């Protein structure tokens, strides 16, 4: 089927401001939006620029706005995106070129929540730390995050204040706060109790809708908020 | 003038092998270490691995590293080096526990230990039947390994140069002296000076039309090594995973069969029972891939088409949704089906390079049949060939290879950096890279990179895939020669400096064409069938003439010189391979 792509373009070396360019591509309805981008780049306009790698929704490279909604270009099929598809870079991040945004601020926020296991007790020798199936299940959802930034880039609180640590960072804090092997929850919760921490979430649910991994992000954020209150009251 | 950076050790690639090495290097506070990756490290293809990492923990039933080693040797069709395999299977237990201690969220058994499942080719007591050896985190084990290692690197304060594409090695007076890297955001060339360099750039499945591999899997490390006169080992052995999603090639983990899923042909028959009476659907990947194609050739593909069914419906929704959630998601997204209720249309997909840059068991790159080390240069992971996978890799052994040999390389690099001094930098080390880039950018030719790439991928798929024979391989080589010639007139459209992925993809295509040519050359050269390399005109394994590794060297004129190196055999004498 003929598919019309309307893509936001911006080359920092030649353009003062972003503009839209249209391309027509012949695609099958089971093709991915990414297949459309690759067809344009390969056969019409090599200068069209976007990130991509795994092409099946696990590496997190190609998050962008597809018809106004954040998603991975490799996880949206043409039959769902329609015959006219508008592609724009994620909102809230500086645009480097076309659909490529600067991810450094995003990763800085991720790093700020201490996204690694904290436990100074020596692990048992010759075997694993034990964890029950229920304890493992407690934080399962947030281990799925691929750091694609679709959630943070969909968050109105983040658009309003880019100092907000954002949903992705809170998800990654949640992953450790609720891991029975971790001992760093107090430290992380103190970070998220600050001005630009978890309380900036206004429960708009854009993040949850945007997540290509279907993580219940708003719920995870709420659990973190509850944990801050619970720990501060005991 | 290019910027010059000074380090002791450089790691090229931010996947499992690279990050594991970086972690071990970072423990040496006196050494300056940096990781350069053309992607953000969490985008690396390690994250796409699904089913598990092999280790004889014995959490659910009796198991031993010796059994694991035997299975790996047998899986390799006796081409794997047994000293390296013994080390890998012994270290396996330790590294898996180490990953758990780092925080990796493995799935758990009832008694809180690391959960394990069955996987292709892994057996109890030297082939008696399947064993639970694959340690898993649902069906996103690679994702969890990649995330955990990246998290630990952040904790350890490892220095990263993200979106820096390494273009060339700097070799000075016969020793490694650093790398030349292209900063993707600015288009600037940088020289990174160092004593040691680890290549951990992953595989090159993008030379095939249907592959499970990331678009970024373009073999940059092996291509760079090859251009610098370093041989590539066993390049004729490329694994086709039996179960890629029809047309797309997206991987459906062997864990589906490990949990009890079976392959069925058009008649609904569980056909693997005929091909592998003991291991059945859990025979090794080369065996299962060939069986699928044989069913298709016999007209028993589904509806006469070129795919069969992977039936997971017998697992029940509970197992599918909890143990294989990503598989369920892929099927919903790309096929519009629910694998708990519908069979999955699959066919083999190009998956894993057994061959690559030759190394010893400490990741040191060796450059000839007598294993002479190129001082300071290391390789680990899929881009390397230790060789632990020989002619065919077992499932779960790639993640294991990454962490075991990434770790060993990191440890040995630290030792080397302490002992060695910094080699002098040649004058203008970035010169050759700059010239080649200028040539690509300035070309007035009319060849389109995407067209050349697609033609290469079709040629490789049609003639250098699961089944091979002389005439087809000769035809493939002729086509690849033509494509390499046409590549000299390729045109890069994007002339900007910032984030010029047009230029970089074209650069990568040049390397892929070289690697495809090497692969086809070695496939034509090896007149026997072993593991993943199946010659229809030489259908038997020939231990008398071919129990040896291939080393392929690039000559100045673009042709290839082939030499051989013996296989290391310790405990397991080659015998007939039956599953």
- Unique residue bearing structure tokens 């972003």: A18
**pLDDT tens-place string over residues B290-323:** 999 999 999 999 999 999 999 999 999 999 999 9
CATH 1.20.58.100-classified regions of chain B: 431-563
In this structure, is the dihedral angle defined by the CA atoms of residues B512, B517, B520 and B522, taken in order, positive or negative? negative
B-chain residues within 8 Å CB-CB of A106? none
A26 has pLDDT over 70: yes
Cβ(B428)–Cβ(B45) below 8 Å: no
For residue B458, what are the contacts with CB-CB under 8 A and spacing of at least 6?
B209
- Unique residue bearing structure tokens 């990796």: B104
Is B491 among the residues known to form the active site? Answer: no
Q: Which residues pair with B256 in a beta bridge?
A: none
Q: Which residues pair with B10 in a beta bridge?
A: B34, B197
**pLDDT tens-place string over residues B35-67:** 999 999 999 999 999 999 999 999 999 999 999
Angle in degrees, 0-180, between the axes of helices B397-419 and B82-101, rounded to the nearest 10:
90
Structure tokens at A76: 């949206």
Which one from B285, B526, B530, B541 is the annotated catalytic residue? B285
Cβ(B237)–Cβ(B402) below 8 Å: no
Indicate the pLDDT class of residue A234, thresholds 50, 70 and 90: low
- A51 and A131 part of one domain: no
Give the ipTM of the model, two decimals please: 0.98
- A145 and A162 part of one domain: yes
Question: How many Å lie between the alpha carbon of A186 and the closest alpha carbon of chain B?
Answer: 17
Residue at a domain's end among A86, A101, A116: A101
Nearest residue on chain A to B502, judged by CA atoms?
A46
Residue at a domain's end among A71, A101, A131: A101
Sequence-ordered alpha helix ranges (H) in B420-571: 431-442, 449-463, 470-487, 501-525, 543-546
Partner A, chain B 486-505, Cβ-Cβ below 8 Å:
492-502
A113: CATH:
1.10.1060.10
Q: How far apart are CA B341 and CA B339, in angstroms?
A: 5
Cβ-defined contact of B496 to A47 (cutoff 8 Å): yes
Indicate the pLDDT class of residue A15, thresholds 50, 70 and 90: very high
Structure tokens at B20: 């594991």
**Mean pLDDT, all residues of chain A:** 97
Question: How far is Cα of residue B393 from the mean position of the Cα atoms in its chain?
Answer: 10
Establish if B319 touches chain A: CB-CB under 8 angstroms: no
CATH fold label, B244-348: Flavocytochrome C3; Chain A, domain 1 (3.90.700)
Report the run of H or E that residue B20 belongs to, with start and end: helix B16-26
Question: How far is Cα of residue A24 from the mean position of the Cα atoms in its chain?
Answer: 29
Establish if A85 touches chain B: CB-CB under 8 angstroms: no
- Unique residue bearing structure tokens 């010059």: B4
For residue B27, what are the contacts with CB-CB under 8 A and spacing of at least 6?
B156, B414
Q: How far apart are CA B200 and CA B224, in angstroms?
A: 12
Q: How far apart are CA B412 and CA B422, in angstroms?
A: 16
Cβ-defined contact of B215 to A103 (cutoff 8 Å): no
Cβ-defined contact of B448 to A42 (cutoff 8 Å): yes
User: Quick one: what percent of chain B has pLDDT higher than 70?
Assistant: 100
Q: How far apart are CA B228 and CA B49, in angstroms?
A: 31
Q: How far, CA to CA in Å, does B294 sit from each of A76, B52, B238, B530?
A: 34, 28, 19, 17
* The CATH number, out of the four listed (1.10.1740.10, 1.20.58.100, 1.10.3720.10, 3.30.465.10), of the domain defined by the range B431-563: 1.20.58.100
Establish if A122 touches chain B: CB-CB under 8 angstroms: no
**Within 10 A of B4 (CB to CB), how many other CB atoms are there?**
13
Rg for chain A, CA atoms, rounded: 20
- Give, in degrees to the nearest 5, the angle at Cα B20 between B19 and B23: 85
- A224 and A121 part of one domain: yes
For residue B484, what are the contacts with CB-CB under 8 A and spacing of at least 6?
B513, B514, B517, B558
Q: How far apart are CA B488 and CA B234, in angstroms?
A: 27
**pLDDT tens-place string over residues A143-200:** 999 999 999 999 999 999 999 999 999 999 999 999 999 999 999 999 999 999 999 9
Q: How far apart are CA B563 and CA B548, in angstroms?
A: 10
User: What is the predicted pLDDT for the residue at B340?
Assistant: 97
**Within 10 A of A15 (CB to CB), how many other CB atoms are there?**
12
Q: How far apart are CA B14 and CA B161, in angstroms?
A: 10
User: Mind giving me the DSSP string for chain A?
Assistant: -EEEEEEEE--TTT-SS-EEEEEEEE--TTSBHHHHHHHHHHHT-TT-----SSSSSSS---EEEETTEEEETTS-BHHHH-SEEEEEPPTTS-EEETTEE--HHHHHHHHHT--S----SPPPTTSPPP--HHHHHHTTGGGG-----TTGGG-HHHHH-TTS--HHHHHHHHHHHT-TT---HHHHHHHHTSTTSGGG-----HHHHH-TT---HHHHHHHHHHHHHHHHH-
Question: How many Å lie between the alpha carbon of B373 and the closest alpha carbon of chain A?
Answer: 33
B455 CB burial (10 A radius; 0-12, 13-18, 19+): middle
User: What is the predicted pLDDT for the residue at B2?
Assistant: 64
- A126 and A221 part of one domain: yes
Q: How far apart are CA B70 and CA B68, in angstroms?
A: 5
Q: How far, CA to CA in Å, does A209 sit from each of A160, A218, B54, B144?
A: 19, 10, 36, 23
Q: How many domains does chain A have?
A: 2
A69: CATH:
3.10.20.30
Cβ(A97)–Cβ(B498) below 8 Å: yes
Cβ-defined contact of A147 to B450 (cutoff 8 Å): no
B1 has pLDDT over 70: no
B533 has pLDDT over 90: yes
Query: Nearest CA to A179 among B453, B438, B352, B147?
Result: B147
Dihedral-angle region of residue B193 (phi above 0 means left; psi in -120 to 50 means alpha; beta otherwise): beta
Cβ-defined contact of A75 to B97 (cutoff 8 Å): no
Q: How far apart are CA B289 and CA B352, in angstroms?
A: 13
Task: Report helix, strand or coil for B576.
Answer: coil
User: Quick one: what percent of chain B has pLDDT higher than 90?
Assistant: 98
**pLDDT tens-place string over residues A39-88:** 999 999 999 999 999 999 999 999 999 999 999 999 999 999 999 999 99
Cβ-defined contact of A77 to B326 (cutoff 8 Å): no
Cβ-defined contact of B105 to A179 (cutoff 8 Å): yes
Tell me the pTM: 0.97
- Unique residue bearing structure tokens 């015959």: A83
Residue at a domain's end among A101, A125, A150: A101
Residues in chain A: 234
**pLDDT tens-place string over residues B408-467:** 999 999 999 999 999 999 999 999 999 999 999 998 899 999 999 999 999 999 999 999
- Unique residue bearing structure tokens 């009890």: B260
What letter would DSSP give residue B578?
-
A-chain residues within 8 Å CB-CB of B451? 42-43
- A113 and A68 part of one domain: no
User: What is the predicted pLDDT for the residue at B444?
Assistant: 87
Range of the domain at A188: 104-233
Question: How far is Cα of residue B294 from the mean position of the Cα atoms in its chain?
Answer: 26
Angle in degrees, 0-180, between the axes of helices A167-177 and A185-192, rounded to the nearest 10:
160
- A222 and A120 part of one domain: yes
**pLDDT tens-place string over residues B26-36:** 999 999 999 99
Partner B, chain A 188-227, Cβ-Cβ below 8 Å:
214
User: What is the predicted pLDDT for the residue at A44?
Assistant: 98
- A74 and A136 part of one domain: no
Cβ-defined contact of A46 to B101 (cutoff 8 Å): no
| Nearest CB partner across the interface for B493, out of A46, A107, A139 | A46
Establish if B105 touches chain A: CB-CB under 8 angstroms: yes
CATH 3.90.700.10-classified regions of chain B: 244-348
User: Quick one: what percent of chain A has pLDDT higher than 90?
Assistant: 98
- Unique residue bearing structure tokens 């690759």: A38
Establish if A47 touches chain B: CB-CB under 8 angstroms: yes
Cβ(B405)–Cβ(B363) below 8 Å: yes
Q: Which residues pair with B9 in a beta bridge?
A: B33, B196
Partner B, chain A 135-194, Cβ-Cβ below 8 Å:
135-136, 139-140, 143-147, 176, 179, 181-182
User: What is the predicted pLDDT for the residue at B3?
Assistant: 83
Q: Which residues pair with B358 in a beta bridge?
A: B385
């Amino acid at each position: 089927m003929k598919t019309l792509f309307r893509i936001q373009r911006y080359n920092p070396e030649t353009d003062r401001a972003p503009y839209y360019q249209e391309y027509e591509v012949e695609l099958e309805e089971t093709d991915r939006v990414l297949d459309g981008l690759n067809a344009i780049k390969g056969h019409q306009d090599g200068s069209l620029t976007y990130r991509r790698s795994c092409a099946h929704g696990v590496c997190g490279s190609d998050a962008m706005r597809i018809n106004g909604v954040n998603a991975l270009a490799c996880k949206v099929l043409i039959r769902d995106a329609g015959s006219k598809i508008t592609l724009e870079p994620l909102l809230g991040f500086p645009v480097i070129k076309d659909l490529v945004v600067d991810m450094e601020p995003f990763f800085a926020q991720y790093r700020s929540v201490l996204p690694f296991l904290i436990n100074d007790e020596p692990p048992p020798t010759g075997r694993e730390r034990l964890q029950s199936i229920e304890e493992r299940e407690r934080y399962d959802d947030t281990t799925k995050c691929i750091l694609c930034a679709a959630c943070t880039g969909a968050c109105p609180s983040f658009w309003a204040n880019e100092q907000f640590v954002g949903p992705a960072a809170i998800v990654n804090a949640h992953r450790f706060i609720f891991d029975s092997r971790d001992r760093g929850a107090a430290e992380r919760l103190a970070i998220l109790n600050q001005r630009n921490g978890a309380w900036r979430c206004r429960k708009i649910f854009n993040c949850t809708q945007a997540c290509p991994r279907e993580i219940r992000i708003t719920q995870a954020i709420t659990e973190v908020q509850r944990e801050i209150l619970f720990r501060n009251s005991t | 003038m290019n910027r010059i950076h000074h380090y002791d050790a450089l790691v090229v690639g931010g996947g499992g092998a690279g990050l594991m090495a970086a972690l071990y290097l970072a423990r040496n506070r006196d050494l300056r270490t940096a990781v350069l990756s053309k992607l953000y490290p969490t985008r690396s293809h390690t994250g796409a691995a699904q089913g598990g990492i092999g280790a004889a923990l014995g959490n659910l039933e009796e198991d031993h590293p010796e059994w694991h080693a035997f299975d790996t040797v047998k899986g390799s069709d006796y081409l794997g080096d047994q000293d390296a395999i013994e080390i890998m299977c012994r270290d396996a237990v330790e590294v898996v526990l180490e990953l758990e201690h780092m925080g990796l969220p493995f799935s758990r058994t009832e008694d809180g230990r690391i959960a394990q499942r069955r996987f292709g080719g892994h057996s109890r007591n030297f082939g008696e039947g399947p064993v639970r050896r694959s340690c898993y985190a649902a069906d996103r084990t690679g994702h969890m390994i990649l995330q955990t290692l990246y998290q630990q690197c952040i904790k350890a304060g490892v220095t990263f140069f993200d979106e820096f594409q390494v273009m060339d090695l700097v070799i000075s007076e016969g020793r490694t002296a650093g790398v030349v890297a292209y900063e993707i955001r600015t288009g600037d060339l940088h020289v990174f000076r160092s004593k040691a360099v680890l290549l951990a750039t992953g595989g090159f499945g993008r030379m095939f039309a249907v592959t499970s591999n990331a678009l970024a899997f373009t073999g940059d490390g092996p291509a760079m090594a090859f251009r610098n006169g370093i041989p590539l080992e066993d390049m004729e052995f490329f694994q086709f995973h039996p179960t890629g999603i029809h047309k797309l090639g997206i991987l459906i983990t062997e864990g589906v069969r490990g949990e009890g899923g079976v392959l069925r042909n058009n008649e609904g028959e569980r056909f693997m029972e005929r091909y592998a009476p003991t291991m059945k659907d859990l025979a090794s990947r080369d065996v299962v891939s060939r069986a699928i194609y044989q069913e298709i050739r016999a007209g028993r593909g589904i509806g006469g088409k070129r795919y069969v069914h992977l039936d997971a419906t017998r697992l029940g929704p509970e197992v599918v949704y909890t143990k294989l959630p990503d598989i369920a998601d892929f099927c919903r997204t790309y096929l519009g089906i629910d694998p708990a209720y519908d069979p999955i249309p699959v066919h083999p997909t190009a998956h894993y390079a057994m061959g690559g840059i030759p190394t010893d068991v400490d990741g040191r790159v060796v450059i000839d049949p007598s294993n002479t080390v190129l001082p300071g240069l290391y390789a680990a992971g899929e881009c390397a060939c230790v060789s632990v996978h020989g002619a065919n890799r077992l499932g779960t052994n790639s993640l294991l290879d990454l962490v075991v040999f990434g770790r060993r390389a990191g440890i040995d690099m630290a030792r080397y950096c302490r002992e060695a001094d910094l080699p002098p930098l040649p004058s203008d080390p970035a010169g050759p890279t700059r010239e080649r880039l200028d040539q690509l950018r300035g070309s007035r030719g009319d060849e389109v990179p995407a067209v050349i790439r697609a033609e290469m991928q079709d040629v490789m798929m049609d003639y250098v895939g699961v089944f091979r024979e002389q005439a087809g391989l000769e035809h493939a080589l002729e086509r690849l020669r033509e494509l390499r010639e046409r590549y000299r007139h390729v045109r890069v459209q994007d002339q900007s400096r910032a984030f010029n992925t047009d230029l970089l993809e074209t650069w990568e295509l040049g390397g892929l064409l070289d690697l495809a040519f090497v692969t086809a050359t070695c496939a034509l050269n090896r007149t026997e069938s072993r593991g993943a390399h199946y010659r229809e005109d030489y259908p038997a394994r020939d231990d008398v003439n071919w129990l040896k590794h291939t080393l392929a060297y690039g000559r100045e004129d673009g042709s290839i010189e082939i030499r051989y190196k013996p296989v290391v055999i310790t405990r397991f004498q080659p015998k007939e391979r039956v599953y």
